[in-house]
């Protein structure tokens, strides 16, 4: 009975995530983007519940504060390093979430994410993800960037300036892949690797250094965005 309840719960989460993906097809009706206090994704027609985020992150937030508009949750993704002392916590990623009536109303990313990516470009990227092909078996979604100006897309130097040095670098014949790995800060003295993990990959053309594909992996879900058509 408990197993059935868990499967039913997680199934509902996936259904709501799928509904959000459908909403991206009509981005301006369902979302807004703002640069006030960081990069802010505003849900005009909220679908995700606060409990969905706890499930996705495998944990409650580090902090919950009432800011007058709702309950503000704080999560921190701690950047991991394969070797060496790393870069301190300069490139950790704090994520804020505004909850209203137990629904996700806003997600706020660090302001540095706007250094090389404009609001219009982000709208194109989110809208492109609304057309993603879903593979339910592998829990993945792949999409092709629908834009107009390839020069808008950040290159290898822009990514490093925003995220710092990668966790690993893999060289192929024609491409270079930068992988970044993050664990969720959970209040312990050291982050726990098997508790939560977020991995993101960027594949660049080796000669031009232009971005060809971006992938993100979290909680068994994979999302990829192909830029090669541009």
pLDDT tens, 151-209?
Answer: 789 999 999 999 999 999 999 999 999 999 999 887 554 555 557 889 999 999 999 99
The more confident residue out of 92 and 191 is 92
Check pLDDT > 50 for residue 132.
yes
Rounded Cα distance, 28 and 127, in Å = 9
Res 221: pLDDT: 83
The whole-number pLDDT of residue 140 equals 79
In Å, how far are 108, 114, 180 from 184, measured between CA atoms?
16, 22, 13
Q: Nearest CA to 74 among 44, 42, 106?
A: 106
- Residues 113, 121: contact at Cβ < 8 Å? no
How far is 111 from 109, CA to CA, in rounded Å?
6
73-77, 104-108, 184-188: least confidently modelled range: 184-188
Q: CA 82 → CA 39, 79, 122, 198, 212, distances in Å? A: 28, 10, 30, 15, 24
What confidence score (pLDDT) does residue 59 get?
Answer: 87
- Report the pLDDT value the prediction gives residue 135, as an integer from 0 to 100: 78
Return the pLDDT at 10.
54
pLDDT tens per residue, range 110-127:
999 999 999 999 999 999
Q: What is the pLDDT of residue 190?
A: 53
The pLDDT of residue 46: 96
Find the radius of gyration of the CA atoms of the chain: 18
Listed residue (152, 100, 118) closest to 39, CA to CA = 118
Distance from C-alpha of 160 to C-alpha of 164, rounded to nearest angstrom: 5
Residue range(s) defining the domain that contains residue 202: 2-226
For residue range 9-60, list pLDDT tens digits in order. 456 887 888 889 889 989 999 999 999 889 999 999 999 999 999 988 888 8
What is the predicted pLDDT for the residue at 134? 78
Domain total of the chain:
1
| Whole-angstrom distance, CA of residue 111 vs CA of residue 84 | 27
Q: How confident is the model at residue 2 (pLDDT cuts 50, 70, 90)?
A: very low
């Amino acid at each position: 009975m408990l197993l059935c309840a868990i499967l039913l719960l997680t199934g509902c989460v996936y259904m709501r995530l799928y509904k959000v993906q459908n909403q991206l097809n009509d981005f301006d009706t369902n979302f807004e983007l703002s640069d006030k206090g960081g990069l802010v994704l505003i849900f005009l027609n909220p679908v995700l519940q606060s409990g969905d985020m706890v499930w996705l992150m495998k944990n409650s937030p580090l902090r919950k504060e009432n800011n007058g508009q709702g309950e503000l949750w704080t999560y921190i993704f701690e950047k991991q390093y394969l070797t060496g002392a790393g870069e301190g916590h300069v490139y950790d990623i704090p994520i804020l979430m505004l909850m209203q009536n137990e629904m996700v109303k806003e997600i706020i990313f660090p302001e540095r994410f706007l250094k090389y990516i404009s609001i219009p470009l982000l709208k194109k990227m989110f809208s492109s993800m609304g057309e993603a092909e879903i593979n339910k078996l592998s829990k993945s979604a792949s999409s092709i960037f629908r834009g107009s100006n390839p020069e808008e897309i950040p290159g290898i130097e822009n990514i490093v300036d925003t995220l710092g040095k990668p966790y690993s670098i893999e060289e192929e014949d024609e491409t270079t892949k930068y992988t970044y790995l993050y664990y969720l800060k959970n209040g312990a003295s050291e982050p726990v690797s098997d508790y939560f993990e977020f991995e993101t990959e960027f594949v660049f053309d080796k000669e031009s250094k232009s971005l060809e594909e971006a992938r993100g992996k979290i909680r068994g879900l994979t999302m990829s965005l192909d830029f090669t058509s541009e």
